[in-house]
Amino acid sequence: DQQVKQNSPSLSVQEGRISILNCDYTNSMFDYFLWYKKYPAEGPTFLISISSIKDKNEDGRFTVFLNKSAKHLSLHIVPSQPGDSAVYFCAASAFYNFNKFYFGSGTKLNVKP
């Protein structure tokens, strides 16, 4: 039973436009969320995080929004750049076992020049 889901396997966006990647979760105990970026043949690299006490966290071009009532989070990238083309994973952990992260299946973002 997958507790973190990314229902869009791929997304294509024009350079300069906004990219919106979505993630849904089922476990109401999740209180910490992360987004990772992964290039082919490389390990994931951390992008941005958000805890459940917030509903928005911003870092440069990246903003993560958390809607706890809908159990939904999203990553906004604006403006999108070709170098952003990668697979993006969302992950979540619960306060009672913060070392254990559950990952979504990833969304492959293609930013076209």
What is the contact surface with another protein in residues (CB under 8 A)?
Answer: 2, 4, 9, 32, 34, 36, 41-46, 49, 51, 89, 93, 98-106
Reduced to 3 states (helix: H, G, I; strand: E, B; else coil), residue 84 is helix
For another protein, give the closer residue by CB, 65 or 102: 102
Reduced to 3 states (helix: H, G, I; strand: E, B; else coil), residue 82 is helix
Distance of closest approach, residue 33 Cβ to another protein, in angstroms: 8
Residues in a beta bridge with 110: 12
Residue 24 C-beta-side C-alpha neighbours within 13 Å: 7
For another protein, give the closer residue by CB, 80 or 88: 88
Distance of closest approach, residue 23 Cβ to another protein, in angstroms: 11
Cis before 79 (ω within 30): yes
For another protein, give the closer residue by CB, 44 or 111: 44
Distance of alpha carbon 75 from alpha carbon 50, whole angstroms? 11
For another protein, give the closer residue by CB, 19 or 107: 107
Distance of closest approach, residue 2 Cβ to another protein, in angstroms: 7
